[in-house]
Each structure stands twice: as structure tokens, then as C-alpha cells.
Amino acid sequence: MRLDDYATKYQGIRFSRSDGVLEMTLHTRGGPVLWGSSRDCLHAELGEAFLDIARDPDNKVILLTGTGDSFIAGFDPAFKFHEPTIAEMWPRIYDEGVALLANLLAIPVPMIAAVNGPALIHAEIAVLADIVLAADTAEFADLAHVPSGGAVPGDGVQVVWPMLLGPNRGRYFLLTGERIGAQEARQVGVVGEVLTPEALLPRARELAQQLARLPVPLLRHTRMLLVKDLRRRLFDELHNGLAHEALATLVR
């Protein structure tokens, strides 16, 4: 797999690479990311994209960011599922949900997330990176599940947030829709650095290039060690969590 094989494959992801650093910019129709459940939205694309990235030996470091002034902050009605019923939608959503996080953590080189604004939906995509930088305008929440009345938080967030925030704060965060600002996120260890929006990408690129100058075996074996526990915990809990999410949706 090479960059030319996937550079224009996805409608919600732009790719560019310099000196081994692959920049992966999420967008919706060229603007800030909006989330959905259709076959052509990021929920469907990201798992496959992460797998393509993992298979490309020319990638030394991955830099993930969003577009405009938000990372993922809202939903898009245009990305509604196409299946006739929710029951018929769920097998696809289940497979996509597993692939999204499993393939993210299967990327064999370090990942840097530059959170360019509010990450209110699937913020775990950013905070699972090895280095997380945030604009001072960023905030973190999980508004796609319990707070919206729409879903059980079973797609990995039930592992990620209690792990990062501690069991009690993590459960509070998931149940209430609490928003954690960038500075507090740094204080509690979710974010490594907080920068102005203008300084965010330059700093992320600086760190990425610093890592990319290191030997590839060092990068790959370090990444393997850093994500080993995360992969195990998500393997243990992700399938079960998605099953609970599906069951709660289908019985409403």
C-alpha cells in the first residue's frame, strides 16, 4: 500500500506527506467535520483509512487534525443511514465501530493529534493519539450517546474516558455531557500542550518532524509498546459494548 493508492480514496479525509510525516485532515465537504451514520461518512471511512495508513511502509509519523474551528462538533442530517430500518443498519455500524478503533491502534507508527477546536463527538479518536495537542478553543465531551438520549456509550468511550479521567470522573463525563476545556484537559492529563489556534499545527509539525528523524524500527517498536494495553482493553470491551449499544437502540 502506497500513498497514491489512498490519497483520493476518501471523501472526508485529505492526505499529504512530507519527510515521512503523513498529515490526515478530516473534513465534511471541505469544511468542519460533521458526523453521521451513512455509508459515505467518516464513521464508514475512518476504519478503512486507518488500515490503509497502517499498511503504508513510507509513513513514519501520523498527524491527525480537523478543519476550520472544530475537530468534530456536530451532526449532519445528510449523513443519515440508508438502510430501511435501524435493525438493518446495526450490523454495518457494528463492523465500522470495531474497525475504527481497532485499526487506529493497529497503526504501527506514532500518532499526533492536533485538536483544532471542540471535540464533542467521538473525541476518543483524538485522545487515543500518542501525543495530543489542543488549541485553547478546544473542549472535550461525549454528546453522541447518553446526553443526546440516542445511544449507550459502548463504542469504546466506556473504556477510554474512565481510563483517562479516572473511574468516577469518567462515568460522570459520559452520563452528564460534561465539557472539559483545553486547559483543564491538560491539567488532568488528557492533553499534552495547549496552544493558540495559529500555533497548533506548526507545533504539531515540529514534533512530528522531530520524531520522523528517528530510526523507523525505534518508532515502530515504541508505538507497539505504547498501545499494547489500549489494544488489549479495547479488544476485551469493544465488541461487548457495541452489542449493548445495539440492544438498547433496538428495544426502544
Cell of 82: 440508508
Is 198 a catalytic site residue?
A: no
Name the residue ranges covered by the structural domains of the chain: 3-250
The CATH H-level superfamily of 3-250 is 2-enoyl-CoA Hydratase; Chain A, domain 1 (3.90.226.10)
The more confident residue out of 41 and 188 is 188
- Mean pLDDT, to the nearest integer, of 211-218? 98
Cell of 249: 437502540
| pLDDT for the residue 128 | 97
What is the pTM for the complete model shown? 0.94
- Mean pLDDT, to the nearest integer, of 210-215? 98
pLDDT digits (tens, 9 = 90+) for 63-92: 999 999 999 999 887 767 888 888 888 899
Cell of 51: 488500515
With CA atoms as reference, report the closest residue to 121 among 75, 181, 90, 63: 75
Residues 124, 139, 178, 198: which is the catalytic one? Answer: 124
Does position 107 have pLDDT exceeding 80, yes or no? yes
Does position 38 have pLDDT exceeding 90, yes or no? no
| pLDDT for the residue 219 | 98
Q: At what angle do helices 157-165 and 216-250 cross, to 10 degrees?
A: 120
* Amino acid at site 179: R
- Mean pLDDT, to the nearest integer, of 11-15? 97
Query: Which residues face 18 on adjacent strands?
Result: 21
Per cent of the chain over pLDDT 90 is 85
